[in-house]
Structure 1
Amino acid sequence: MDPLSRPRLTVVDGGATDESAAPAEHADATDALATTLIDAFGDRVLFLFHRRIAGQTGDLPVIAVTATGVHLIEPRSYPGKKVRACRDGSTFVIDGVRHTRIAEQMQEHAEALQAAVSIGPLPDATVHSHYCFVDGDLPVRPLEVGGVRVLSVRGTLKRLRASGPLDERDVETLHRDLSRRLVRT
C-alpha cells in the first residue's frame, strides 16, 4: 500500500432536520450526484457536501477539491423539461418559465466560496463553479447562465478529472481547511 494513500471515503449523512434545508428535488439531485461522484472518484477527489459559510445562509451542495482547484457544483434536476438560457444568458428558462433566482444564488455562493478560499492556506487556488444537471433536456451546444457553465453529469466528471497545478498535499490542505471552516447544513 502506498504510504501517501488516504483511507477509503465513507459518506456520513449530516442528519439535517432544519426547516431551511434544501427542497426535496434539490436534495434528490445532490444525493444522486454525490453517489455518482463517489463511485467515480473514490478518494482521488475530495468532497464536501451540504456546507455553508458561517454567518451566511444558503447551502453549498457539492464542493470538490481537485488538482485544478476548488469546484462549487450546483446539482439540478428537471426530468423531461427543456433547459435553456434566456437571450442574454442571464437566467434559466425551464419549459418556457424564467428562473432568475438560480443564477443569483450561484453568483452569491461562488463569491462567498472565493472569499473563503482567499483567506485560507492557498489563497491563489482557483475556484470554479458550474451547474450539473442530473436530469433535464439540455441543448447540444454549450450552455452558460450568468457566466457559469451548465454541464451534464458526464461533463462534470470530465471537468473533475482534469489535471492541474495542485499536488496531492495542496488538495488535502485546501480540503482540510474548508472542512473546518464551512458549517454543515
Structure 2
Amino acid sequence: MDGDPTAKRMRLRYAGTCSECTATLPAGTQAIYDRVTRSVRCLTHDDPPATLGPVEAEAPPSTPLEEPTPDPSPAELDCGTPGASARREYERRRTKREDDVRGRHPKLGGLILALSDERRTTRVWDTGALGEEALGSRLNELAGDRLKVLHDRRIPRTRANIDHLAVTPTGIWVIDAKRYKGKRPALKVEGGILRPRVEKLMVGGRDSTKLIDGMTHQVEVVRGIVGDEVPVRGVLCFLEADWPLLEGSFETRSVHVVWPRRLYKWLRQDGPLEPPEIAQRHRALAERLASA
C-alpha cells in the first residue's frame, strides 16, 4: 500500500473478520492485511480510496456469496501418532527375523529366538519409537488453544519424517526426540583464530553432528510452508541423557539441544501469535505434511 507501509492488499487464504465493521470475509476475498496488528479489514475501510487500485472495476458476483466453511476443529485434523512409523518399522524387522529363524529351524526356532538378541539395527527402531512416544504423550497433555501439536509427519518426496511439531505463541518448533540413555550431549568447538571455527555435536563422546544436519533440513522444510512471518526453531530433545546438574543445554547452528522439561517451559511462553492464528498455522502444517 502506498499510504501505509504496514498494510498490504491481498487475497485471504483463510476466512477472517473485518476489524472495522466485523463483517465476515470469506477465504479468497481481497482485503487489507495489517502486518503490525495481524488483522484484516474490508477494502472499503482503506484510506485513501485512491490507493486501492482496480477494485471498482471488478464485476460483482452473479450469485450471493456462500457462507464460509468453518475451519475444522482440532479433533477433525489428523494430528498423527507419536512414534508410529518407527514402531511399524521395528515390528516389521522383528517379524521378519522371527519368520526367517523359524523358517530355517522349524523345530528349534523358538528356542533360538529366546536365547539370541535382536540385531542392533532392529533395536534402534524400538529405542527411537519409545523416545517419540514418551515425548509425544507429554506434548499431548500440554496441548490446548495456545499449544497445538502434530506428530510423525512425512517430509514430502522423501522417506524421512519429522517427529513432532508444536505451534505456540512464540512460533513453530520442530522437535526431534532422541533417547540416548545415560549419554551426555555436548558441544565441541574446534578452530577459531587461525582456523575456521567448527562446532560438533558430541553424544557420549561420539561425533553426532549429522543430527544437526538433519534438523536444519527439517526446519527449512517447515519454513518453506509457513514463510518468514512466523519464527521456526529446531530442537533436539534428549530423553534420559546424562545432563549435568547445572545448565547443559546449548545451541549450535540455530538448533537448540535441550532436555524435555526445558523444552516444555519454552513451549508455554507468551508470544505474539494468538489462538486463531495458531489454529490456522496448525491446520496448514497438518494439510501439507501428512502423517508418516
Bin for the TM-score computed over the shorter chain:
0.7 to 0.9
Q: Give 1:125's match in structure 2, choosing from 211, 218, 230.
A: 230
Structure 2: distance between partners of 1:134 and 1:85: 17
Matched ranges for 1:38-77 at <5 A: 38-42=140-144, 44-77=146-179
Of 162-171 and 38-47, the range deviating more from structure 2: 38-47
Instruction: Name the CA shift for 1:184/1:103 in 2 (closer, same or farther; >3 Å).
Output: same
Deviations 1:23-80 (A, max 9, x none): 3222211110011122233554111100023223421100001111111011111111
Matched ranges for 1:1-185 at <5 A: 13=81, 16=85, 17=88, 23-42=125-144, 44-88=146-190, 90-118=199-227, 124-139=229-244, 140-185=247-292
Shift of 1:90: 2.9
Deviations 1:91-124 (A, max 9, x none): 3211211113111101111111111112xxxx51
Percentage of identical aligned residues:
26
Please say if residues 84 and 94 of structure 1, whose CA atoms lie closer than 8 Å, have aligned partners that are also in contact. Answer: yes
Structure 2: distance between partners of 1:159 and 1:99: 24
Structure 2: distance between partners of 1:71 and 1:59: 15
Higher relative contact order (CA 8 A, sep 6+): 1
Q: Which amino acid aligns with 2:216?
A: Q
Shift of 1:148: 1.2
Please say if residues 170 and 273 of structure 2, whose CA atoms lie closer than 8 Å, have aligned partners that are also in contact. Answer: yes
Where do 5+ consecutive residues of structure 2 fail to align? 1-72, 94-123, 191-197
Structure 1: distance between partners of 2:174 and 2:280: 17
Structure 2: distance between partners of 1:42 and 1:142: 26
Higher strand share: 1
Normalising by the residue count of structure 2, what TM-score does the alignment of the two structures yield?
A: 0.54
Please say if residues 173 and 233 of structure 2, whose CA atoms lie closer than 8 Å, have aligned partners that are also in contact. Answer: yes
Instruction: Name the CA shift for 1:37/1:105 in 2 (closer, same or farther; >3 Å).
Output: same
Q: What's the Cα RMSD here?
A: 2.7
> What is the total number of aligned residue pairs between the two structures?
175
